[in-house]
Amino acid sequence: MSVIRNNPALMAEMNRISEVAGYLWGKGWAERNGGNISVNITDLIGDEGQRMSSLTRAQPLGRSLQSLAGHIFYVTGTGKRMRDVAQDPFSHGSLIRLNACGGAYEIIAEKPIIPSSELASHLCIHNCLIERNLDNKVVLHTHPTDLIALTHCNDFLDSEALTWKLWSMIPECRMIVPKGVGVVPYETPGTIALAEATLKQLVNHDVVLWEKHGILAVGEDIIDCFDAIDTLSKSAQIYLNAKQAGFEPQGMTKKQMDELVAAFDLPIPD
């Protein structure tokens, strides 16, 4: 598959996917086949991607994602382990190309690895974000223990309450996740209902926490997506560590937060 292996920009992106997959496993956020990644690589592969023959028959998506017509994605494989994606993304995921109406996909490289059970949700999200004119390339889903733990508490099933609690643990959280985190009430994994509820939260946030399941981040850059989740997880750990030590963490004061926003000219959420 020299079209891929001889494309330095594409291979660099594949290395970044491997790097992040390794972080997810190392963080303990990716038990067994937990989590999945999709990255829009259409621009990186260029016209060559359109000429590649398919390895499988077209698989209908059950809906027409018109803004994704002809787009090409790397998607982690169903049942595949993140720790294996980290070692060899081409053996634990595949490149897929959507057809001319965005209603079906074919696997074009390198092996016929069936995409993640969350493929339909990932593609709905990619499609919708393109329609919102966002240059979003990445959808990253993983299972961060500390953040999921917080969703078992009713107080934190409110996006605003959770965002302020996490922001107030360390200044970096307010800076690195300026749109905060949206919360989606429990839905069955892999369903379109979960994708639709997520899309509602993605109007105001780039990171969405799924009750009793995991987290999903979108962005232009996979490392930035990881960093946002990692920073939220750090805040959750500080909160939970303080609680375990027997006290309620004070959190940054309103004055400290206002000074931070002014000092770094941070956006103020609606």
Which stretches of the chain bind Zn ion, using CB under 5 A?
A: 214
Residues 40 to 69 in contact with ligand 2HA, rule: CB under 6 A: none
Give the one entry of ligand 2HA, Zn ion, none that residue 116 binds, where binding means its C-beta sits below a cut-off of 5 to 8 angstroms depending on kind. ligand 2HA
Sheet holding 72-76, edge to edge: 59-60, 104-109, 93-98, 72-76, 36-40, 138-142, 214-219, 207-210, 181-184
> Which tokens in the block code for residue 245?
């030590």
| DSSP for 11-47, written as a single string | HHHHHHHHHHHHHHHHTT---TT--EEEEE-HHHHTH
By CB atoms closer than 10 A (0-12, 13-18, 19+), residue 103 is middle
Give the one entry of Zn ion, ligand 2HA, none that residue 38 binds, where binding means its C-beta sits below a cut-off of 5 to 8 angstroms depending on kind. none
Our finding on whether 34 is near ligand 2HA (CB under 6 A) is: yes
Question: How far is residue 205's CA from residue 123's CA, in Å, rounded to a whole number?
Answer: 18
Question: Which of residues 20 and 238 has its CB atom nearest to ligand 2HA in the complex?
Answer: 20
Question: How far is residue 150's CA from residue 242's CA, in Å, rounded to a whole number?
Answer: 14
Question: How far is residue 94's CA from residue 115's CA, in Å, rounded to a whole number?
Answer: 7
Choice from 13, 106, 118, 206 touching ligand 2HA (CB under 6 A)? 118
Nearest approach, Cβ of residue 143 and ligand 2HA (Å): 6
* Active-site residue, selected from the candidate residues 13, 118, 160, 196: 118
Name the residue whose CB lies closest to Zn ion: 214
Piece in contact with ligand 2HA (CB under 6 A), picked from 1-9, 114-122, 164-172, 237-245: 114-122
Piece in contact with ligand 2HA (CB under 6 A), picked from 28-36, 43-51, 201-209, 259-267: 28-36
Our finding on whether 36 is near ligand 2HA (CB under 6 A) is: yes
Our finding on whether 35 is near ligand 2HA (CB under 6 A) is: yes
Alpha-carbon dihedral of residues 89, 92, 95, 101, nearest 10 degrees? Answer: -140
Piece in contact with ligand 2HA (CB under 6 A), picked from 32-40, 97-105, 129-137, 218-226: 32-40
Question: Which of residues 35 and 89 has its CB atom nearest to ligand 2HA in the complex?
Answer: 35
Active site residue 118: yes
Q: How many CB atoms lie within 10 A of CB 216?
A: 29
Per DSSP, what are the bridge partners of residue 50? Answer: none
Instruction: Indicate the helix (H) or strand (E) that contains 131.
Output: helix 119-131
Our finding on whether 198 is near ligand 2HA (CB under 6 A) is: no
As annotated, the active-site residues are 118
**Residues found near ligand 2HA in the complex (CB under 6 A):** 33-36, 116-118, 141, 189
